[in-house]
Amino acid sequence: MTTLLRTDGITKSFGGVRALDDCTLEVEEGSITGLIGPNGSGKTTLFNVITGYAKADAGAVYLGDRRITNTSPDKVFHAGIGRTFQLTRIFPTLTVLENMLVPASSASRKAGGVRRKAMDQLEFVGIAGHHDQLAGTLSYGQRKLLELAYVLVADPAVILLDEPAGGVNPTLIGQIAERIAQLNAERQKTFLIVEHNMEFVMGLCARVAVLDAGSVVASGPPDIIRTDPRVLDAYLGVDVDA
């Protein structure tokens, strides 16, 4: 197995708070890797550093052999890393299809090919029927699916999902999980997924990495991770009475 995405000793502070502390993470090509950790452990900050939304104070990010540390978000996107956000970032007053066409140039937007490609992705995630509806009228889970479809248009090699199941009803959670598994199996997409829903993570991911206080404290298959004492320390806290 080759490593497709790697962070090497990333450190990132906000004021006096060290959000990431020598954070090293490897995501194997073709894998669905989970990234878990208690509140405030640095998961979203790591996503932001990888995708260029935050600058690392130290350390490096590699996509394959290419060093992409501290490049701008659009360059990271074009290098082949797509991401979704914890709170979806859609345009509520544009239609679902218009949202899909936002990144296209105004000339190509009219071209049938671009629209068809956008519709294909909406079809794939299962919300093509809503294409001419305002995106603001979608349910929370459908917005997550729209974001996934949006990311797919650029055909990225790696997809980072920030809490894809958070706040989504159980039926749609299943639909989201199925699409991820399908994209991984049929289109060889590599995934890195931040999620608090353990059933979702443990069921979908072959490997899970655990962040605590800004560092990866454990990584491995779900069954090993569940009983790892370092992981239990991260979640249950360390007793302060000695």
Residues that bind another protein (CB under 8 A): 38-40, 166, 169, 196, 198-199, 201-202, 222-223, 225-227, 231-232, 235-241
Q: ∠ at Cα 132 (171, 179), nearest 5°?
A: 35
Q: In terms of CB distance, is 32 or 231 closer to another protein?
A: 231
Q: In terms of CB distance, is 74 or 170 closer to another protein?
A: 170
Q: In terms of CB distance, is 111 or 221 closer to another protein?
A: 221
Q: In terms of CB distance, is 55 or 170 closer to another protein?
A: 170
Nearest distance in Å: CB 202, another protein: 5
Nearest distance in Å: CB 36, another protein: 8
Cβ-Cβ contacts under 8 Å for 133 (sequence gap 6 or more)? 95, 96
Q: How far apart are CA 164 and CA 187, in angstroms?
A: 19
Nearest distance in Å: CB 124, another protein: 27
SS3 190: strand
User: 3-class secondary structure for 55-78?
Assistant: CCCEEEEEECCEECCCCCHHHHHH
Nearest distance in Å: CB 63, another protein: 30
Q: In terms of CB distance, is 132 or 239 closer to another protein?
A: 239
Residue bearing tokens 């569940």: 226
Nearest distance in Å: CB 39, another protein: 6
φ, ψ of residue 83 in degrees (nearest 5): -145, 155
